[in-house]
Amino acid sequence: MSDSIKQISRHLHGVNTMREIAEQANILETIRAVQNWQCQRLLLSHQEMYQQKRFKPAVEFFVEELYGPKEFSQRDHDIARVVPKMAKLLPEKALVSLASALHLNALSFELDFAMARKLHGLTIDRDSYAQAYRECNNQVLRQQQINYILTLGRDLANVVQMKGITTLLVLSRKPAKLAGVIALHEFLEHGFKAFKKLGEVDDFVIPVVNFEQALLTQLFDKSAANPLPQGI
């Protein structure tokens, strides 16, 4: 079994375990609220990029498929079900990018879980969010989350450049539907289409990473003004 397959299994197991704990703790709804607020924040923070035709699909992919309150259990179930066969179905570069996406998704859910525990029962706004962010005291994990934006972006760029990947995705859509793993296929397809239009991926990921890095630094600096945008 390849390292990518092992990582995919580990990240899926981690998210499923955290989701079950969240349900038992009755904070899953709060986690969704945190994720929804964060999506709005991301779109406001990166509005200039979001308004550009070249970058909009990539912004939407990160917001909707990795950070948002979208229900991912069907996609994760699809992946778990076909994990043993993935090495035969997908090229290694695609497996690497999928592992990176699931790593980012799992880490983000872990961070959202921590935020939800601080914000449960409170109104989520820029002040309560900033306070909870600092109280979580997990700057190392937040840094890893930002680092994985860059990793995933470059991994997806490598997949996009693969010869024949467009044909592979088109031809595999119907078999994926018949096999009951259409949610997984759509996730891969959305990521591919978003990054296909980017051209040079660093034109997208570097500004995003730099902005989020500065935001992290300010949020953990108790003497700094709240850097979160108004109007959410």
Contact 218, 124 (CB under 8 A): no
Contact 201, 153 (CB under 8 A): yes
68: helix, strand or coil = coil
For residue range 77-134, what is the model confidence (pLDDT) as tens digits? 777 777 666 666 677 887 888 888 889 989 999 999 999 999 999 999 999 999 999 9
Other CB atoms within 10 Å distance of the CB of residue 45: 17
Q: How far apart are CA 231 and CA 176, in angstroms?
A: 41
For residue range 169-221, what is the model confidence (pLDDT) as tens digits? 665 666 666 555 566 667 778 878 888 888 899 999 999 999 999 999 999 99
Domain extents in the chain: 3-219
Please report how the helices 28-45 and 3-24 are oriented relative to each other, as an axis angle in degrees rounded to 10: 120
Q: Is 164 left (phi over 0), alpha (psi -120 to 50) or beta?
A: left
Other CB atoms within 10 Å distance of the CB of residue 202: 14
